[in-house]
Amino acid sequence: MRRIVLPCLLALNLSVYCAQTAERDAETDYAEKFLQEEHIPTDGASLVQFFKERALAKPPDPELIKELVIGLGDDDFAARESAEEKLTGMGRAAKEALLEARKSRDAEVRFRADRCLEKLEENREMLRVVYAARVLADRKPAGATEALLNYLPWAKDEMAEEAIFAAIAKVGVSDTTPNATLVDALNDTEPLRRAAAGRVLATLKDQRTNVLKLLDDADPRVRYYTASVLMPLGEKRAVDTLIVLLADTNLITAHLAEDMLFRLADSQKAPEVTVNNDESSRNRARSAWEAWWKEHRDKIDLAKLNLDQAVMGYTVIAEYSDSGHGMGRVWECGPDGKQRWEITDVSSPMDVQVLRNGHVLIAERGRITERNSTGKVLWEVKVQADATACQRLANGNTVAFTYNGIFEYERDGKEIFRYQHNGQCYGGQKLRNGNYVFMVGGSGQITEVNPEGKEVRSFRPDTPDVSGCGYWVSIEGMPNGNYFVSLGSSGRVAEIDVTGKVLWSCKTEQTTGATRLRNGNALCVNTESRAVVEYDRDGKEVWRAKTIGRPFRVRRY
């Protein structure tokens, strides 16, 4: 059974998100097709009713759940089907009773309880909510804002919350006039409704004063959601709020606040601190950022910074084929793990990056290519040896890491940087400070060189597992100046500092490539088990998608 648990998708900039999704009619088409397969009507009125029915007046009654479990073995087929559908719709509230039902003497009850639990594991109901919200936002029927706001407290999964937030942003404002229910929600007793209202109304100047009050809200999530929208709009009080959240909320929200602060400091030297799961580190981080902000507050114009980073929730994978000849494919899946598109017959794909224009940059045998989603090559540059990593920079340049060198090219293909070495490079990245870092397979040696090609540092991670890292490794720079590495056959990913000290690590399956997500989780490709797996900060698996061949790199955007 494939386990599907939706990832955390916080910190959307709603204006950017809506602009992107408005241009992506394929997203609505995909959502509509999913709903049709689930036998859910997709007209506007039916979708409003969809959310009204799920906005329960109170949590599911335990006695009702018991009755429905008994109903799984009813003599009447229609009654059994109805009981199964209702239990699945109750989500996690019914899980304990269903687990107990597995022990029933009635084979039909056991069978249907297993099927309910499988559906819960796949989180089909939450996917219905996500895609219903997307189509509803496209339809914009009467009553949509009220139905979405009413349902919001029942969106227990973060992906569903984000889908509802994005939908409210599209239906809650007509031109520049906000829905009255949305304005009232600023003072709602439910934190998520306040957060949704704040994130949408913050973009309207005549509502800004009322929204600013949410920066002092009693709920840390409301403060974060509001600050994440107000900061790119130029509101400096939002930065103060994010700094306080480093020590005054759960770890996931603290990591998201930290990520925004590091992006803010992109043009300035950021504090060399990081948030970990202990009070002392979080307090140190808060103090360091307070000092940094005191120094830079008057120098930074937030409105001129590029802080918009919409998170679509899609995962793109570079995968070798088992058919031989070094061929492979690049493909993308949504939160449900289902393939959305693929590019086949790519020669030895080792890395992939989704670009802002929707194209993909691929590191493959002897070249770096930019392609559209049908696989058509729109741009390419030949490289020496096989490319193991690629990166498109903000200025349009492209960096290629190969087995024996690092190269940077301008858009016309002109080479402007070259650094050659004797190791076997299997992963690399150009860092925010302009340096290049790469990792050698086998030894696990990490080397950082400056734009003049001079070695800045070279070391091995201080961990006994590095001796078994194998050749397939990866490395990326983190906003706090540390590195995030995968150690191949040792089955471990880790955050290390510039001295090689391991600050955090997680035991995985054999991992050839990994990336740190904004919520602090690790997204890994597991070659032997042929899967992409997301692990939380405690090393617990929270999401998995199967691959056909051997995956080598993964990105989420």
Mean pLDDT of each 10-residue bin along the chain, 557 residues long: 32 39 60 89 96 76 92 94 87 82 93 85 74 94 96 78 91 93 96 94 92 95 92 93 90 80 74 77 92 92 66 82 73 83 90 87 94 89 90 88 92 92 86 87 85 90 59 81 83 85 84 84 88 87 87 90
Q: What is the pLDDT of residue 273?
A: 76
| Residue at 172: amino acid letter | G
Q: Is the pTM of this model over 0.85?
A: no
Spatial CA neighbour of 130 closest among 34, 4, 24: 34
State how far the Cα of 400 lies from the Cα of 448, in Å rounded to an integer. 15
Q: Starting from the edge strand earliest in sequence, which strands make up the sheet with 351-354, in order?
A: 351-354, 360-364, 367-371, 377-382
The neighbouring-strand residues paired with 377 are: 371
Other CB atoms within 10 Å distance of the CB of residue 215: 20
> What is the distance in angstroms between the CA of the first residue and the CA of the last residue of the chain?
26
Give the number of other CB atoms < 10 A from CB of residue 184: 12
Residue 131 has a CB neighbour count (10 Å cut-off) of: 25
For residue 81, what are its two tokens? 């089907």
Q: Quick check: helix, strand or coil at residue 554?
A: strand
Alpha-carbon distance of 237 to 41, in angstroms, equals 44
Strands 446-449 and 455-459: antiparallel
User: Which residues sit opposite 399 in a β-bridge?
Assistant: 391, 408
Q: Nearest 5°: phi and psi at 310?
A: -70, 145
All domains in the chain, ordered by first residue: 315-556 (2.120.10.30)
The pLDDT of residue 481 is: 75
* 3 state DSSP class of 95: helix
User: Side chain identity at 114, as an amino acid letter?
Assistant: D
C-alpha 267/C-alpha 357 separation (Å) is 24
Give the pLDDT score at 9.
Answer: 36
Q: State residue 21's pLDDT score.
A: 39
Question: Rounded to the nearest 10 degrees, what angle do helices 25-37 and 124-139 cross at?
Answer: 130
Q: Distance (Å, rounded) from C-alpha 297 to C-alpha 290?
A: 10
* Contact of 339 with 328, CB cutoff 8 Å: no
